[in-house]
Amino acid sequence: MTSFPGPVARLIDEFRKLPGIGSKSAQRLVFHLIARPADDVRSLAAAVADLEEGVRPCRICHQITDIDPCAVCSDPGRDTTVICVVERPSDVLAVEDSGEYRGLYHVLHGVLNPLAGIGPEALTIAALEQRLAPGTVHEVILATNAGVEGEATASYLARRLAAGDLRITRPAQGMPAGSELEYTDRLTLARALRGRQNMD
Amino acid sequence: MKKPTETVLRSLNCVSFRNLQDTHIEWCAGLNVISGDNGHGKTNLLEACFFLAMGRSFRTARVDALPRRGSSSFSLGGEVSHRQVSHRLGVKAGRGLRERTLDGCQSDLGRTLGVLACLVFAAPRLALFRGGPDDRRRFLDRGIVGGKPFMVETYRDHLRALRQKNRLLKQARQARPVAALRDQLAAFNDQLAGTAATIRREREDYVKRLGKVLARDEGPAELVPGRRPEISYQPHPTLEEGMTGSREQLMAAYEERAEDEIRRGHALVGPQRDDLSIHQDGAEMSRFASAGQQRATLIALKMSKMLVHKEMTGSYPLLLVDDVDAELDAHRTRRALHLLSGPYQVLVASASAEAWAGDRRVVRHLRVRDGIISRFS
Ligand SMILES: [Zn+2]
């Protein structure tokens, strides 16, 4: 097989690192871009560059944001006694969409996964503990996904965060096993949030 | 009065599979015979049906051995009627490729198993007796998943959590201090105790069901010479009398061995160490039974599995029999087929066409020659 010119091969390699993109899809995307008008390609490149410069994790909840603290953390209308802990930034949007939740968030940026070398120190757990230290938060909702690692992370956090009369809950009902928050429909998620159970 | 067969594989489409010419075959409810000389492809045809239903071969673990020479993949399709409802199953597979469809939509093993389950009687591999506990666990687990397809997920989760835990234990052995890992171990033990309790309960129940069928008069155990074979489940960890193996009890058993596990660097407790004992007159058959007795017991156990599948799901699996003539002596062959005649579908591959000539139970007789399939007349 003859190889692609350097810049083409490099972009194909970069696309392949994205979730759900294989070699063939990466090639298709690159050749699609080559065929587009130069302006389109430049505006894509600019958008990608802005990600690097204009976006960072919120210093409080670690949600990805362009203003710091993020819109949720700086909204005076939110219930500051409840924190919903999620795996990924996109999970925050899923919970917001359910329309059932008015508290704050905390984004872990992953779950425990020893096989992938991810331990508690790679997640934002220490920052979460700092948020709980003053004792103004009354409930932590552990909304990690329902797979083995998500469940183990919830169970780990339940142990580690247990203190005084802090209520630790997990949305339980109607979350099908192995389901990802991001793909759970609004109604199911809303129901799960309403029916959350104490973890002990 | 004849009961209708609940699950019937109506047809099979076969493209680029082994030596078989691309073909469309219609099957009937009842006894279907495929005859042909050895090496011409009759077992391949059974294998194709099995792969369509189960997503694997009963002869090899290597999927890339299955496409026809010169092809990198094969595809199989078939129509199944399951309780009067018609479904289309499809599978396409090759090296690094496995796509399963049910009624035209992407599907998974758990769902397709609910439509068509298969049980195969092939040249008896006596791994059940001569192999390790893992062979015996597989025997149980495949039966359980056949009857309760959703258990696929429980087994998968258990394996996943176990691999995570083993990785932690390996880290704990290499790196000190271990304190930081203890909490993570407890978290994965939590997951393991949950799935282990389910697996333990299902295995216990399944062995009990098999045991009941074996104890029946006029049942499969009749095939075995001498005393009736018996089976018993040996769960791990063994618990004190009266304990049921609940999640909490298992969690406590895990905690108890935690230090040993850290020292050894891998998991020491759980259903991954279960075993099954098959005994006759109190003696372990793996050690004391002749090859003939083991073979007969294997057949009896498989027939029991079939009856248990019916008990659990309400319908029989599709039965595939490879070369009955070779497997049992003539007397027992007839006895087995008599025991097995019922409202289900059987595909028999046989080297002897004559043996079936004039047999009125045969509803369809196909002949395979050089991979080409034709009606036998
Ligand atoms: Zn924030």
- pLDDT: is B161 or B108 the higher one? B161
Q: Is residue B40 part of a domain?
A: yes
Instruction: Look over chain B and give the mean of its residue pLDDT values, rounded to a whole number.
Output: 89
When divided into structural domains, chain A yields a total of 2
Predicted local confidence at residue B210, as pLDDT: 97
* Average pLDDT for B129-140: 95
My answer on whether A115 and A92 are in the same domain is yes
Compute the average pLDDT of residues B181-202: 95
A152–B157: do the CB atoms touch at under 8 Å? no
Question: In terms of domains, do A27 and A98 share one?
Answer: no
> Secondary structure of chain A in the HEC alphabet?
CCCCCHHHHHHHHHHHCCCCCCHHHHHHHHHHHHHCCHHHHHHHHHHHHHHHHHCEECCCCCCEECCCCCCCCCCCCCEEEEEEEECCHHHHHHHHHHCCCCEEEEECCCCCEHHHCECHHHCCHHHHHHHHCCCCCCEEEECCCCCHHHHHHHHHHHHHHCCCCCEEEECCCCCCCCCCHHHCCHHHHHHHHHCCEECC
Mean pLDDT of B285-306: 90
Same domain, A108 and A129: yes
- The reply to whether residue A152 touches residue B180, judged by beta carbons under 8 angstroms, is no
Residue A113: pLDDT over 90 = yes
pLDDT at residue B266, rounded to an integer: 94
Using the Cβ of B117 and the Cβ atoms of chain A, whether some distance falls under 8 Å is answered with no
Residue A14, amino acid: E
Same domain, A147 and A91: yes
SS3 for B242? coil
The domain containing residue A32 runs over which residues? 6-54
Please, are residues A157 and A125 in contact by the beta-carbon 8 Å criterion?
yes
Flag whether A189 is in a domain: no
Contact of B303 with B220, CB cutoff 8 Å:
yes
Minimal-distance CA residue of chain B relative to A160: B183
For residue A186, the one-letter residue type is R
CA B213, B216, B220, B222: dihedral to nearest 10 degrees? Answer: 150
A178 found inside a domain: no
| A177 pLDDT above the threshold of 60 | no
d(CA A71, ligand 1 centre) in Å: 7
Report if residue B377 sits inside a domain. Answer: yes
CATH number for the domain harbouring residue A23: 1.10.8.420
Q: Indicate which of B171, B178, B190 best probes the interface with A, i.e. most A CBs within 10 Å of its own CB.
A: B190
Query: Please, which pLDDT band fits residue B1 given cuts at 50, 70 and 90?
Result: very low
Token pair, residue B341, equals 């005649």
Residue A174 — very low, low, confident or very high, per pLDDT cuts 50/70/90?
very low
Asked if residue B205 has pLDDT above 80, the reply is: yes
pLDDT digits (tens, 9 = 90+) for A18-67: 888 888 889 889 988 888 888 888 888 888 888 777 788 999 999 999 99
Does a structural domain hold residue B96? yes
Least confident of A29-33, A66-70, B22-26, B121-125: B121-125
In the prediction, which pLDDT does B324 show?
A: 56
CA distance to partner chain B, nearest, from residue A122 (Å): 13
Name the domain count of chain B. 1
State whether A79 and A127 are in the same domain: yes
Question: Is A200 within the bounds of a domain?
Answer: no
Say whether B275 sits in a helix, a strand or coil.
strand
Give the range among B251-255, B328-332, B358-362 with minimum mean pLDDT. Answer: B328-332
Choose among A102, A106, A105, A107: nearest CA to A78. Answer: A102
B219 confidence band (pLDDT: 50, 70, 90):
confident
**Least CA distance to B189: which residue of chain A?**
A152
Q: Please tell me whether residue B76 adopts helix, strand or coil conformation.
A: strand
For residue B20, the enclosing domain spans 1-117+317-377
Question: Quick check: is A179 in a domain?
Answer: no
Residue A42 lies in a domain: yes
State yes or no: pLDDT of B276 exceeds 70. Answer: yes
- Kindly state whether residues A48 and A74 are assigned to the same domain: no
Q: How confident is the model at residue A109 (pLDDT cuts 50, 70, 90)?
A: very high
A149 Cα to the center of ligand 1, angstroms: 24
The residue among B27 and B7 whose pLDDT is bigger is B27
pLDDT band at B337 (very low <50, low <70, confident <90, very high): low
Task: Return the percentage of chain A with pLDDT > 70, whole number.
Answer: 90
Nearest to B157 among A120, A148, A160 (CB): A148
C-alpha distance from A175 to closest chain B C-alpha (Å): 15
Q: Are residues A75 and A157 in the same domain?
A: yes
- State whether A70 and A103 are in the same domain: yes
A145 touches chain B (CB under 8 A): no
Residue A63 Cα to ligand 1 midpoint, Å, equals 6
CATH number at residue A128: 3.40.1360.10
Is the residue at A112 inside a domain? yes
Stretch A153-171: mean pLDDT:
92
Residue A138 lies in a domain: yes
* Distances in whole angstroms, Cα of residue B288 to Cα of each of B94, B213, B215, B291, B335: 42, 23, 20, 10, 25
Is residue B195, in this structure, part of any structural domain at all? no
Q: Are residues A89 and A39 in the same domain?
A: no
Contact present, B93 and B62 (Cβ < 8 Å): no
Q: Is A155 on the interface with B (CB under 8 A)?
A: yes
Residue A180 lies in a domain: no
How many CB pairs lie under 8 A apart between chains A and B?
Answer: 53
Q: Are residues A43 and A85 in the same domain?
A: no
Position B171 in a domain: no
The domain that holds B57 is classified in CATH as: 3.40.50.300
| Comparison of pLDDT for B343 and B284, the residue scoring more | B284
pLDDT at A179: 59
Whether A95 and A17 map to the same domain: the answer is no
Instruction: Work out the percent of chain B whose per-residue pLDDT is above 90.
Output: 63
CA–CA separation, B342 and B340 (whole Å)? 6
What residues pair up with A170 in beta bridges, in sequence order?
A197
